[in-house]
Structure 1
Amino acid sequence: MDVKLLAVVAALTMVIYAPSSQAAKPISLVERCYCRSTFSNIPRGLIQELRIIQTPNCPFQVIAKLKANKEVCVNPESRWVRQFVKSVINKRKTQKAQLKGLQRST
């Protein structure tokens, strides 16, 4: 068998059976932020769900899933978004405090 043909077969075998992971992706794809542009004024009645994404290479990102099954990025500096995040944090703090109180009483 020709050495060049053997080398090509070995290289193709490695490419085909190599595990795909983020380490194998180019850096430009791994470090890409989800939100490139944001909206500030989205009617709250259209929003079905809000997700918060934090990645090491991108700033704080808020994604709104609309009732029409469309996802848009929301400006995290908007006043209503900041108030929403504060209310979620406060709600979780009170839930944790209530759970601690229940655990102590039993």
Structure 2
Amino acid sequence: MDLKVIAVVTLLMVTMCIHVSHAKPFSLGERCWCRSSENTVPKSSIKQLKFLNTPNCPFQVIATLKNNKEVCINPQTLWLQQYLKNALNK
């Protein structure tokens, strides 16, 4: 009977270790989406824009292109600044 208890405890410990090792560390959840941004994305290739304003990250603009690729756009890009200005005036 002692051997069965040891086997069960060992299995429980192994199971607990497996679940912990696949967990996402907290620090990864707090990282910014955009690590670098592009300055030369033409407006005509953009399908959708997303704006992210998270507490620990600068203002981020994510563009979904017509080929479904996502890229980060520099928020200081002139055409994007004009777009945001027009959107706020409406």
Check whether TM > 0.5: yes
Is 1:50 the counterpart of 2:49? The answer is yes
Q: Supply the distance in 2 between the matched residues of 1:53 and 1:78 (Cα, whole angstroms).
A: 16
Q: Supply the distance in 1 between the matched residues of 2:45 and 2:88 (Cα, whole angstroms).
A: 23
% identical aligned pairs:
45
- In structure 2, give the amino acid aligned to 1:38: S
1:96 paired residue number: none
Q: Which structure carries more relative contact order (alpha carbon 8 Å, separation 6+)?
A: 2
SS of equivalent to 2:37: coil
Per the normalisation by structure 1, the TM-score is 0.65
Q: Supply the distance in 2 between the matched residues of 1:47 and 1:76 (Cα, whole angstroms).
A: 15
Larger helix fraction of residues? 1
Shift of 1:13: 6.2
Unaligned residue ranges in structure 1 (runs of 5+): 92-106
Aligned length: 85
SS of equivalent to 1:58: coil
- Aligned-CA RMSD value: 2.5
- In structure 2, give the amino acid aligned to 1:73: C
1:32 paired residue number: 31
2:5 paired residue number: 2
Shift of 1:15: 5.9
Q: Residues 68, 10 of structure 1: CA spacing in aligned structure 2 closer, same or farther, 3 A cutoff?
A: same
Q: Supply the distance in 1 between the matched residues of 2:72 and 2:60 (Cα, whole angstroms).
A: 7
- In structure 2, give the amino acid aligned to 1:34: W
Unaligned residue ranges in structure 2 (runs of 5+): none
* Structure 1 runs of 4+ with >6 Å offset: none
1:64 paired residue number: 63
Q: Residues 59, 86 of structure 1: CA spacing in aligned structure 2 closer, same or farther, 3 A cutoff?
A: same
